[in-house]
Chains A and B, each alone.
Chain A
């Protein structure tokens, strides 16, 4: 059921009740009416609260604070920065859940929920941004694929002329995992193996 269906149902009920109101009598229907009234009061409270929070921006703030992005990116530092920007105030709490509570209370008190929601939206958007590898990465990847096309002796000659740092940059840009303990010789073997694979796979794919 959607809320429009509920509204239609309530309108129909209201019309029937209005039409027959002077004829209705007895305990059973009165008890049911009392229950319905209690439920209606509770529903009206929830609805009023929802509509008010939607208007003030509180709903959006709550949505962002509970969003998957908050779970991944939200920190005390972000909340401190937000409060400074929105209210010019300092957040005292150092624990994330206490900081969230303090943040929400302070922005609500100053009716700045909409600004706070906007701040979080922009902050999460910035956090989701991934810097592209750029031309450096692209040229290293291209070089990696070219190395894969070389014959064994040509490859050894080329690798021999490179520094360990250059080889590490080439491997890192091409998805090869290595540690501080990986030697130049071992890295050269890995680059050889995977660059040949890439050259073959891309050539056959193309």
Chain B
């Protein structure tokens, strides 16, 4: 199986990284029959807690053992405690107590990841950005899509995700603060590509493949103008070679939907919790466009 590994990154918080990962992942599994792995790299464990009840998550990741934390801790301690098969959670447990979406797998995160960032830097060893790839690449090939949910920063864990990924997806809220942040992000990834790209095959040189707009509202001019400014900025960056020519702004834009927020408390993706909601409809259409874009990409 040829898998596509995509890092969902933005160092700005609250832009819809986790919502995009969880709901695109669930839609790929439910409606397109794709086998999907979500890798939670955020110490806040938001995608883990979206897809798992807190009691089950706490029990599963006790002391960080069956979580992404263990991968980094193993690298720091020179141990091999991490077991992919034991750590990965298959499907989503519904309120019946039984599993649904058997093709959606989750490698959860643990709060212990908070402590790991400084220690990774202290390593000062070559290969500190290859820890994740070394541990997970052998398992990636059993999936059609691997979606990496990154923390809202550009530190070591996120760089590990960028290094592992075929492409980056940037969730975006249409406002000026996001616009300025996107520019910085594009340049940062460009620098990372310059520094480490020679270690990777050309198709995997770190780059931004797509942007996703969340929290969209169709009131007045506000969001349309902000998206126009984003498109202009993308055209500038493409002209300067900072992002590839085929980087696209995926549509439809995800409209603000209270049912999506509510589905986090139900620990279900919106496609299962409220399939008739505008949130589910938007993610459904967006996932189709996502597939059109990434399935056809070499």
Q: Is the CB of A177 within 8 A of B224?
A: yes
Give Cα A198–Cα B179 distance, bound, in whole angstroms.
11
Encode A89-128 as 1/0 by CB contact (under 8 A) with B. 0000000000000000000000000000000010011011
- Smallest distance from the beta carbon of A110 to chain B beta carbons, Å? 24
Task: Check B281–A141 contact: CB distance below 8 A.
Answer: no
Q: Which of B220, B228, B235, B281 is in CB contact (< 8 Å) with A71? A: B281
- Does A138 reach chain B (CB closer than 8 Å)? yes
Please name the residue on chain A nearest to B274 by beta carbon.
Answer: A68
B249-298 residues with Cβ-Cβ distance < 8 A to A are 251-252, 271, 275-277, 280-281, 283-286, 288-289, 292
Contact of B288 among A64, A125, A138, A201 (CB under 8 A): A125
Is there a chain A Cβ closer than 8 Å to B31's Cβ?
yes
Residues of chain A lying within 8 A (CB to CB) of residue B220:
177
| Interface pair A124/B288, CB less than 8 Å apart | yes
Contacts of B292 in A (CB 8 A): 125, 129
4 shortest interchain CB distances as A-B pairs: A175-B224, A68-B280, A175-B228, A128-B285
B50 to chain A, nearest CB (A): 18
**Which residues of the partner chain A approach B98 to less than 8 Å between Cβ atoms?**
1-3, 6
C-beta contact mask, B72-106 vs A, less than 8 Å → 1, else 0?
00000000000000000011010001110010000
Residues from chain A with a CB closer than 8 A to the CB of B30 are: 63
Q: Are A3 and B281 in contact (CB under 8 A)?
A: no
Contact check, B275 vs A71: say whether CB atoms are below 8 A apart: yes
Residue-by-residue, is A147-172 near B (CB-CB < 8 Å gives 1, otherwise 0)?
00000000000000000000000000
Chain B interface secondary structure, helix, strand, loop or mixed? helix
Known: A63-B30, A63-B31. A2 touches B277 (CB 8 A): no
Q: Which of B208-232 contact A (CB under 8 A)?
A: 220-221, 224-229, 231-232
Residues of B within 8 A of A3 (CB): 98-99
Q: Answer whether A141 and B283 are a contact pair too, CB < 8 Å, given A2-B102, A175-B228.
A: no
Whole-angstrom CA separation of A181 from B235 in the bound complex? 32
Instruction: Please tell me if the beta carbons of A68 and B271 are within 8 angstroms of each other in the complex.
Output: yes
Which of the listed residues B235, B284, B292 has the most CB atoms from chain A within 10 Å of its own CB?
A: B284
Closest to A125 in B: B288
Contact of B3 with A by CB under 8 A: no
Q: Which residues of A contact B224 (CB under 8 A)?
A: 175-177
Among residues of A, the one whose C-beta sits closest to the C-beta of B286 is: A128
- 10 A-B pairs within 8 Å (CB atoms) are namely A1-B93, A68-B275, A68-B281, A68-B283, A69-B281, A69-B288, A124-B284, A144-B232, A175-B227, A205-B182
B134 at interface by CB-CB < 8 Å: no
Give, as a whole number of angstroms, the nearest-CB distance from B1 to chain A: 21
Q: In the bound complex, what is the Cα–Cα distance between A204 and B235 (angstroms)?
A: 15
- Asked whether any CB of chain A lies closer than 8 Å to the CB of B183, the reply is yes
Alpha-carbon distance A107/B236, docked complex (angstroms): 51
Interface string of A59-87 (1 = CB under 8 A from B): 00001101111011000000000000000
Instruction: Report the Cα distance A6→B180, complex, angstroms.
Output: 52
